[in-house]
Structure 1
Amino acid sequence: MQNETNIRKATTADIEDIQHIAKKTWHHTYEGIIPRYVQDRFIEQAYSDENMERRVHYSVLLLAEKDGKPVGFANLFSKGKEAMLGALYIDPRAQGKGIGSALLGEGFKELPDVSIIHVEVESENHGGLAFYEAQGFRLSEEYDDELFGHVLKTKKLYLEL
């Protein structure tokens, strides 16, 4: 069937595709906001093979495929009744097609005991903020965060399920 989106749990075989999507999306989203060397250092650390193996085994890591090709992923970490959406990245060419909403919905299904989800968004990531607000997330706090010497203006949002 043409134009079908499939969402499934990621496996270690998907790590390279997820790393590629993360890098491409970060560069697209944060160009002019976060220096490229900071982006690359973050991606290298957060999406190392070792960290990705842990994500596959100890968190909810979902992969979205469109016509059999990886186009996005979501990563949620839960603790009791609360969860953190650590990543929701969609290939820039596939954005605006409902893939992010579908990944979020599947993530919620994977965490039936969770009643609140948190996410942190860089305040200049207007597309990300608009997406989360459209999903019903609300602002809980704003603060400065440091990423390898670069100060980020961070907004923490939450969604009650």
Structure 2
Amino acid sequence: MTFFVRTAGRNDLEAISILLGETWHDTYDGIYGPRKVAEITASWHSVAALESRLTRPESEFIVADDGETIGGMAFAASSDPEKKLVMLHQLYVRPECQGQGIGSDLLQEIVDAFPNASTMRIEVETANEKALRFYERHGFAEIGRTDNCGRDDSGIPAAVYEKPLPG
């Protein structure tokens, strides 16, 4: 399969929601249990929750698509007035599509979408060793920790990673 990266659209939201559910269950069921993962995905990854990202200013919402399947997705945004810091909120690849370079392609597209940014930041669950290795291979380094990954009240601890960008 050959995947190409493109901007996400409204018609993709259901498939993205399903992809996020599958990916989260595959990654986090062993950490948080299936029930907690189902609660998180129902809240964070519903079509309604994803829809607002389509029109968020200073953001990029993309998918990797082979014409039949969405194999991955990424969402990043800059809320920094100087637009120097980009927060990579999501980068997920469907479990059966991992290892094909989709994550690297998505990450590069996100980096390219913010040419003036000097730093990209991401929060990564420390038990997600595959993700930690991926980001470290792509030049990210741990700069700290948070007790609330993704949302101020999530209660999910994570490592905070940053990568310098050319901008």
- Could you say whether these structures have the same fold, taking a TM-score greater than 0.5 normalized by the shorter chain as the test? yes
* Equivalent-residue separation in structure 2 for 1:49 and 1:17 (angstroms): 9
The CA deviation at 1:50 is 2.4
The CA deviation at 1:145 is 3.0
Q: Give the structure 2 partner of residue 159 of structure 1.
A: 163
The CA deviation at 1:34 is 1.3
Q: Assess if the C-alpha contact under 8 Å between 1:38 and 1:150 holds in 2.
A: no
Across the two proteins, how many residue pairs are aligned to each other?
A: 158
Q: Give the structure 2 partner of residue 38 of structure 1.
A: 36
Q: Give the structure 2 partner of residue 96 of structure 1.
A: 99
Q: Give the structure 1 partner of residue 21 of structure 2.
A: 23
Q: Give the structure 1 partner of residue 65 of structure 2.
A: 65
Name the CA shift for 1:143/1:78 in 2 (closer, same or farther; >3 Å).
Answer: closer
Q: Which has the higher contact order (CA 8 A, sep 6+)?
A: 1
- Choose which of 100, 112, 117 in structure 2 pairs with 1:114: 117
The CA deviation at 1:120 is 0.5
What residue ranges of structure 2 are gaps of 5+ in the alignment? none
What residue ranges of structure 1 are gaps of 5+ in the alignment? none
Name the CA shift for 1:17/1:106 in 2 (closer, same or farther; >3 Å).
Answer: same
Q: What amino acid does structure 1 have at the position aligned with 2:157?
A: K
* Equivalent-residue separation in structure 2 for 1:143 and 1:78 (angstroms): 19
* Equivalent-residue separation in structure 2 for 1:35 and 1:150 (angstroms): 15
Task: Report sequence identity in percent.
Answer: 31
Q: Give the structure 2 partner of residue 6 of structure 1.
A: 4
The CA deviation at 1:16 is 0.4
* Equivalent-residue separation in structure 2 for 1:151 and 1:77 (angstroms): 22
Q: What amino acid does structure 2 have at the position aligned with 1:20?
A: I
Q: What amino acid does structure 1 have at the position aligned with 2:88?
A: L
* Equivalent-residue separation in structure 2 for 1:31 and 1:45 (angstroms): 16
Q: Give 1 or 2: higher strand fraction.
A: 1
| Counterpart secondary structure, 1:25 | helix
* Equivalent-residue separation in structure 2 for 1:151 and 1:110 (angstroms): 31
* Equivalent-residue separation in structure 2 for 1:153 and 1:78 (angstroms): 22
Q: What amino acid does structure 2 have at the position aligned with 1:154?
A: A
* Equivalent-residue separation in structure 2 for 1:150 and 1:75 (angstroms): 19
The CA deviation at 1:111 is 1.3
| Counterpart secondary structure, 1:118 | strand
Across the aligned residues of Structure 1 and Structure 2, the Cα RMSD in angstroms comes to: 1.8
| Counterpart secondary structure, 2:131 | helix
| Counterpart secondary structure, 2:108 | helix
